[in-house]
Chains A and B, each alone.
Chain A
Amino acid sequence: MKVTIDGHEIEVEAGTTILQAARMIGGDVVPPAMCYYSKLKGSGGKCRCCLVEVTKGSDANPTPMPKLVASCVTGCMDGMEVKSKSSDRVTEARKAVTEFLLINHPLDCPVCDQAGECDLQNLSFEHGHANTRFIEEKRTFEPENIGDKIQLHMNRCILCQRCVQVAEQLTDYRVHGVLNRGDHAQISTMVSAAIENEFSGNMIDVCPVGALTDKTFRFKSRVWFNKPFNAHRECTTPGCCGKVTVWMFGNEIQRVTARKDEYHEVEDFICNTCRYDKKEVSDWTIEGPRKFEKDSVINVNNYSRKLEKVIINTERGILMGRDEDRKKISMAAIDYNKKIDGTEVKQ
């Protein structure tokens, strides 16, 4: 099937969603996604960040779709034409969605441990407004303890339900989910059970905001002060790949996370033993520094990357001057008893 997104044509298989097709193209046309997670089945369709405009339904039925559609749950049709970044309607809609997501989101980025790698921060930076129009009280929840490894900040939650899907699909049984409805909807555990499953730590990684954060890393450091390194170890837990990113400060491992790709989705899920219990450098085989997008705050003050030497391709004479002229800059080489033309100076 042939799909055109923002003028880029791509051949995809049947059943591919528009978002997946856009990710195959990559670059600017990829719509932002807060709830969709390619590694989790059934995710997507909740946050409405990935709205796109379908200007041509398909070759068979070329009428455009009247409303903007969520690209993460809309399948591609043969000959479909989609506008993502090039559409003003989409830009406007994303701005509105961002504003809605931020309605109840507290403005506590300076306190939040997710700041610097937060999808909502990126979204509001790219699509949001600098000011808020919301003057009402923000919705707040009582702080709740869901175990000694994961910190839950329900106030920051945007109800993407990725964490619920992690629990559903990665662990044997899940003890948490969405309680209540509408404005009162919240992520919580039934009767205050602790989340203790071996793969539960992955919900920290999948959380797009700072609602679920690592309690062992709580307030320890800001993410951009740490240096991320790829590392691996032989993990005996079934299902754990053992490939992680360790965040170092000096010689100290501050925290361990799964490796995230360019869309901030983990490449492979890791177990809690890797995440919480292996914080010694000797536990890991360090592969090398982890690279991040060029404009990521994590790269600030990071000088570990090799810089390419700048080569200016121009005539050597323009850059350096004539050889005989350059020699004269050295005063020692000048014979004061001779004139420039070489004749002797008469005393």
Chain B
Amino acid sequence: MATSIQNISLSGKKKQVSHKEMTFWERLYLVAIIKGLLITIKHFFRRKATIHYPEQVREFSPVYRGKHTLKRDEQGRENCTACGLCALTCPAEAITMKAAERKPGEEHLYREEKYAEIYEINMLRCIFCGLCEEACPKDAIYMTISKELVPAQYDREDFIYGKDKLVMPLEVAMANTKNLN
């Protein structure tokens, strides 16, 4: 055959379609239907590939990156001092914060004289790269200790996580302290 663009297979996957007439059994389609059903039925007895998240949770890899946690120290004080390095390093610009000065009498709440009054992560922007965790000089932000992923929501506003969702609950911090001793 002469070389023309119709005959060249650039991808190497070109197949000639045959218009062969089907035999009697093939025309009945019964064999094909039963074959297909067998494949379907076989999968009823196989192990399921999916789980009922969030009721069931898969085991996390030790290096997973999930929802951020703002850690508390052994005395239950917030580690974060609103230095802004996480927001600076964030390639998606997902983090915003506002600092405030610690007042006398709040020493049990915040570790340093400055703390984050507002700390927000926009989970729609976050790409879970973990650079914030790497940049943090105060050992405050972690993506590996919440053992949680960021769940789906219906409203965009719900993805902006404030301190109420990010700061490690006091009970967890207390439990951690007990484990240390």
Query: Interface residues, chain A, CB within 8 Å of chain B?
Result: 108-111, 115, 218-222, 224-225, 297, 300-301, 334, 336, 339-340, 345-346
Docked pose: A47 CA to B170 CA in angstroms: 46
Question: Which residue of A109, A220, A222, A297 contacts B137 across the interface (Cβ within 8 Å)?
Answer: A109
Docked pose: A301 CA to B82 CA in angstroms: 18
Q: Which residues of A contact B83 (CB under 8 A)?
A: 109-111, 115, 222
Query: Interface residues, chain B, CB within 8 Å of chain A?
Result: 2-6, 81-85, 87-88, 93, 99-101, 112-114, 137-138
Question: Which residue of B5, B84, B114 contacts A339 across the interface (Cβ within 8 Å)?
Answer: B5
Docked pose: A151 CA to B6 CA in angstroms: 81
Number of A-B residue pairs with CB-CB distance less than 8 Å in the complex they form:
49
Main SS class of interface, A: loop
Docked pose: A182 CA to B3 CA in angstroms: 94
Docked pose: A340 CA to B4 CA in angstroms: 7
Docked pose: A218 CA to B101 CA in angstroms: 8
Docked pose: A339 CA to B4 CA in angstroms: 6
The 8 closest A-B pairs by CB, nearest first: A110-B83, A222-B84, A219-B99, A111-B114, A110-B81, A339-B4, A219-B114, A110-B137
Docked pose: A346 CA to B3 CA in angstroms: 12
20 pairs of residues in contact across A and B, judged by CB atoms under 8 Å: A108-B112, A109-B83, A110-B137, A111-B81, A111-B112, A111-B113, A218-B101, A219-B100, A222-B84, A222-B88, A225-B84, A225-B87, A297-B88, A301-B88, A301-B93, A334-B5, A336-B6, A339-B3, A340-B5, A345-B4
Question: Which residue of A108, A224, A334, A339 contacts B88 across the interface (Cβ within 8 Å)?
Answer: A224
Docked pose: A219 CA to B117 CA in angstroms: 11
Min distance, Cβ B112 to any Cβ of chain A, angstroms:
5
Known A111-B81, A219-B99; 8 more pairs at CB < 8 Å: A109-B83, A111-B83, A219-B100, A221-B84, A225-B87, A301-B88, A336-B5, A345-B4
Docked pose: A111 CA to B138 CA in angstroms: 10
Question: Which residue of A110, A218, A224, A334 contacts B112 across the interface (Cβ within 8 Å)?
Answer: A110
Min distance, Cβ B73 to any Cβ of chain A, angstroms:
14
Minimal Cβ-Cβ distance residue in B for A225: B84
Docked pose: A222 CA to B96 CA in angstroms: 12
Q: Which residues of B contact A345 (CB under 8 A)?
A: 4, 6
The interface centre, meaning the residue of B99, B100, B101, B137 with most chain A CB atoms within 10 A of its CB, is B99
Minimal Cβ-Cβ distance residue in B for A110: B83
Docked pose: A226 CA to B138 CA in angstroms: 22
